[in-house]
Structure 1
């Protein structure tokens, strides 16, 4: 059985691909306005990106939807890059998901709204 997870804060690569597809589909087909104005990202996402990707030269952020019809299910997914190319699996692992590779796509973000913290934030 494949290990679809990686370090804390990662999500399975197939989930990330589906969420990104859901976002693109939502933009193309929905008449609903997208209301998300911010995402809260856990610090360990960044700590693990640095720890598990020492040769990374950047991080690409993707917007996705867990539920293709619900804009409040918005997610911001972070994927390290090397030479400008996405690295969706842990470097040096040499395996893709079919071979048991570990995910290198980070997301435990909370979209605001609906997950807004107390008090004012930028843009309020």
Structure 2
């Protein structure tokens, strides 16, 4: 049976690409960035704690799945252990040197995809 990465993770090369897309987009455009928040599934946090029990914090990065479209914003979560970002973990049951992603993202940008109604936001 194949071993899969924890739910909520994305491959490290994808995370790096999305982060670079965001940096490029922001430096070359002056868009109205409509995303005000992100919905983050609880299993992202559960798996961060499960696979990184000594993490002292989590760093959040903004990325774009499409380098030309601000509405494709993603929030990527990277555990911090001993003051360092932990991008990869040893693959449980894998061979020597096998790794799995430790970058989490199953977030949903709000807007454009979250439905909110009056009173459902942080601002009054």
Q: TM-score range by the shorter chain?
A: 0.7 to 0.9
**What root-mean-square deviation, in Å, do the aligned CA atoms of Structure 1 and Structure 2 show?**
1.6
SS at match of 2:38: strand
Q: Deviation digits for residues 69-119 of structure 1, max 9, x if unmatched? A: 0000000000001122100012xx18xxxx541000000100011112242
Query: What's the TM-score, normalizing by structure 2?
Result: 0.86
Matches of 1:117 and 1:60, distance apart in 2: 26
Q: Which residue, 114, 117, 123 being the options, matches 2:115?
A: 117
Query: What's the TM-score, normalizing by structure 1?
Result: 0.86
Q: Which runs of 4+ in 1 moved over 6 A?
A: none
Matches of 1:14 and 1:68, distance apart in 2: 15
Aligned twin of 1:60: 59
**Structure with the higher fraction of residues in strand conformation:** 2
Q: Deviation digits for residues 28-67 of structure 1, max 9, x if unmatched? A: 0012121110000000000000000011111100000000
Unaligned runs of 5+ in 2: 92-96
SS at match of 1:108: coil
In our comparison, the structure showing a higher alpha carbon Rg is: 2
